[in-house]
Amino acid sequence: MPYVTVGKENSSSIDLYYEDHGSGQPVVLIHGYPLSGASWEKQMSVLLNARYRVITYDRRGFGKSSQPTEGYNYDTFAADLQELITQLKLDEFILVGFSMGGGEIARYFGKYGPKGVSKAVIIGGVPPFLLKTDDNPEGVDASVFEEIKKAVTADRYAFFTEFFKNFYNSDPLLGNRVSKDVMHASWNLAVSASATASLACVSTWIEDFRKDVERIDVPTLVIHGDDDRIVPLAASGQRTAKLIKGARLAVVKGGPHAITWTHAEEVNAELLTFLGEPSVKSTGGVA
């Protein structure tokens, strides 16, 4: 299995598992919490059929990657992404991030700039800043994140059971756009992540990406469900699209957080249309 080494913890290397398929312009898919690169299955086949080279990887602590007890912050996540890009010698690549993966994209631009990046897509992303503060009244109260951390610490297995109900909005969508089997598979994937990563990543959701987002100066598509209970549209996707010059905002009606699965057809249509457009910088506002 292919791995790229991104660091060391004592005597052990920290390795990221990745998959690299197809040929053509590279598309790097960055997964959300608490899943892995395998969660992109409904996008991977579509992108491969459209003749893109598709690269997925598992964030440290998740999937088949190493499970260190350090490095769970966005500076490190962006450095891990940069190492993967460097090792694979990618150029004119497209970054697509879901949920936490949107944070990687934002911090990547903040730290490394746009060199080599052709386009960016943020789906249900955590930017620009989820925490409610005096200068960020649209954010979510800090107590919400503290309660999540308490729940993960007390019993992360039970937490994930409840988490995925809101991840997929199972009350209206179960048996319609998502099955019990999919939710069970997601639960299995989540509990395979390290306990350290499962807890530590919660604190990263409230990192301030506002300055990072403003540095994104490539054509950008923001996709978000209007019924997202995990990362509310008004606190995230709408604001991210406004902060990125020329960004396009596509709102998926009735879409939960996990629109890459429940509304894959809509997401894939937006994705393919955007990726197929010429890579020229836009000077317009939000579409």
Nearest partner of 263 among 275, 271, 251, 255, judged by Cα: 255
Q: Is 257 a catalytic residue?
A: yes
CB 260 within 8 A of CB 123: yes
Residue whose pair of structure tokens reads 């490394």 in the numeric block: 112
CB 22 within 8 A of CB 42: no
Where would I find the H helices in 168-236? 170-173, 180-191, 195-204, 210-214
Cβ count within 10 A of residue 183: 20
Query: How many residues in the chain?
Result: 287
Q: Which of 99, 170, 198, 236 is catalytic?
A: 99
Q: Which of 15, 80, 212, 228 is catalytic?
A: 228
* 184 tagged catalytic: no
Q: String of b and e for 75-112 (b: at least 16 CB within 10 Å)?
A: ebbbbbbeebbeebebeebbbbbbbbbbbbbbbbbbeb
Backbone angles phi and psi of 87, in degrees to 5: -65, -35
In the chain, % helix, strand, coil (3-state, to 5) comes to: 40, 20, 40
* Separation between Cα atoms, residue 280 and residue 259, nearest integer Å: 27
Contacts of 182 (CB under 8 A, 6+ apart): 168, 261
**Cα-flanking dihedrals φ and ψ of residue 284, to 5°?**
-90, -175
Active-site residue flag, 228 = yes
Structure tokens at 170: 């199972």
User: Please, which residues bridge with residue 57 across strands?
Assistant: 18, 30
Question: Exactly one of 15, 80, 208, 257 is catalytic; which is it?
Answer: 257
Catalytic residues: 99, 228, 257
